[in-house]
Amino acid sequence: MSDLTNPAETTRPAYVLDEQVGFILRLVGQRHSAIFQRLAPEGLTTTQFAAFVRLAELGECSQNELGRRTAMDVATIKGVVDRLRRKGMVTLRDDPHDKRRALLSVAPDYAHLTDDLYSVGLRISAETLEPLNRDEQRTLLRLLKKLR
């Protein structure tokens, strides 16, 4: 029994760090990230992977636009794009209609890579979710999406 002189004490849930969503999310993120790093080709990180795949979907696109479509801040997407360019996976040309912009696209040499990335991406997700059965996997994704 806890302190009965304070009625609130008996109903308020105790704070246990290991039970908080934020803490658990960080742990799950760490595990996913380790799986990702082991399976992803070209030394791609999670964000680089997301940006590259999204760019392949969209075709030509500006840097900030790509950032918005992948939920990355302007400062973050800049770093990610810089590294993809350094790897030669993404190329850039000036937008003929807007002097502020540059248009990004997947480098021709790497266009074929997208199919590989799709299959690797599915494998990474499968391995991350492996401790759950099919129903649990569907449920988890459904609930997580509500928290976006």
Partner DNA sequence: CAGATAACGTTTGCATGCAAACGACATGGA
Partner DNA sequence: TCCATGTCGTTTGCATGCAAACGTTATCTG
A 10 A CB-CB count for 4 gives: 8
> Which part of the chain contacts a second copy (CB under 8 A), choosing from 15-23, 83-91, 94-102, 105-113?
15-23
Q: Does residue 45 contact residue 89 with C-beta atoms inside 8 Å?
A: no
**Distance, C-alpha 31 to centroid of its chain:** 13
Q: Does residue 52 contact residue 116 with C-beta atoms inside 8 Å?
A: no
As measured in angstroms, the least distance from the Cβ of 89 to a second copy is: 16
80 makes contact, choosing from a second copy, DNA, none, with CB < 5 to 8 Å by partner type, with DNA
Q: Does 121 bind a second copy (CB under 8 A)?
A: yes
Scanning the structure block, which residue is given the tokens 């302007």? 74
Q: Does 53 bind a second copy (CB under 8 A)?
A: yes
Residue 103 DSSP one-character state: E
* Positions in the binding site for a second copy (CB under 8 A): 12-15, 17, 19-33, 36, 46-47, 50, 53-54, 57, 70-71, 117-119, 121-122, 124-125, 128-129, 131-132, 136, 139-141, 143-148
